[in-house]
Structure 1
Amino acid sequence: MSVSLEVCRERTDDTVPAGHWEDERTTAVVLAREDGAVIGSVVVLDLGADDPALRFAAVPEGAFEALVPMLREAAALVGAAGGTALRWVAESDEMPPSVPEELGATEDGEVYRWWRLELSAAARTVEGGGAGPVEERPAGEDAVFRLGLADALFDVEIEEDTAVLVHDREEEHTPDELTALVGAVVRRVREAHPAVRAAEAYAAPDDDTLGAALTAVGFVPTDRRAVEYLLPLGG
């Protein structure tokens, strides 16, 4: 495969596919093309940190075989701008281990891990609460429904035969409160979407409260996770 790279630095560049300049922190976009078609991209973000090791991050996506040259080009851009490291987050099924190995990048911590519940299993009786009733809320984009309890909420998206639970909360809640919310979400999926065979949700490694709630409802952690990678520059 013959891959060519293109570096775009202007928001007005109409050769960049839509969506790559949506983040105001974007400072450059590296595109990989094959026979003129875009097969991958790396968005370079300037996070504005004073520490040059924390200032820049990358958002890679696309064909596996294009990731190394794209990230290498992004690293060169960051180094030229005074950065001493490039960081990016990728899920385990989005980036083969050979990519960071070839670049010389290392894992700098787990960001979140996916949990899974097979809905063919018998439903567990879930108790919990204390923060008020679970309520229907206006669903977010791409969600089929949203349930909330106080400031905690789950948007539920359906991807083929899997319900994906997207969680958000601002305040801390007890495990019982989140268990009540997760349990209500799973019941709604079972009742309203009988063709769905599994539910998935993600939790940060230090989010013990959400982890306890997922466990109480029957979710189990999987091998699929998101990792932050660190590529030192210069030296």
Structure 2
Amino acid sequence: MKHLLYLKDLNQETINQILDTADNFLDHENQPFGSENILEHKTLANLFFEPSTRTRSTFEIASKKLGADVINIDEEHSSRTKGETLIDTIKTLEAMGISYFVIRNKQGGIFKKIINSIEKGTHLISAGESHISHPTQGLLDLVTIKRNKKSFTNIKVAILGDISHSRVTRSLYEGLQIMNTGKIILISPIEYKPDMSIFKSAAYTDNINQGLKNADVVVTLR
């Protein structure tokens, strides 16, 4: 897997491999058992151009546990304040030998532009793209569900909150679809009802009691 941008790009076998690896880490107190130095002599750049505490910190911790060096760059302390584009920033860092980039950006479609500009040996991970995608959060939710429910096929997953603006919901839905989840229901006030053409296999309701009835998993959004 060269990049991790959208869960819809993955298949069930790949997602299962990721979940099994995460299980292994969790069973060893979040230590990368057997993979301690997989990123040794590599440098990863965290480029976060939206606020983040948990996502940015966990990427830094995980990367260091795998042996990588990590640099953190945000909007306020980068040359973007002087008009440098994100692609120019990445190209500059590539020239310094950095080949792994974790990027959070509020601009939709930015990753397609980046992919057309980077070197062949460069790898991208989305840490959040506009309201479109947050694949690592989706994977985290899938890990949590699998560890507690074992199987996806016979469960009902309810997602509750501002669905229409939630990149977390989009990524989780993509993952749940690939894992053949039994039933997915989206719950929100009617003013936050999402475009259901994006969630074709999910049901929708603005009635909380109705939506949560017989749910095996409830995902709540901020």
Higher Rg of the two aligned structures = 1
**TM-score (normalizing by structure 1):** 0.26
Instruction: Answer 1 or 2: which has greater helix percent.
Output: 2
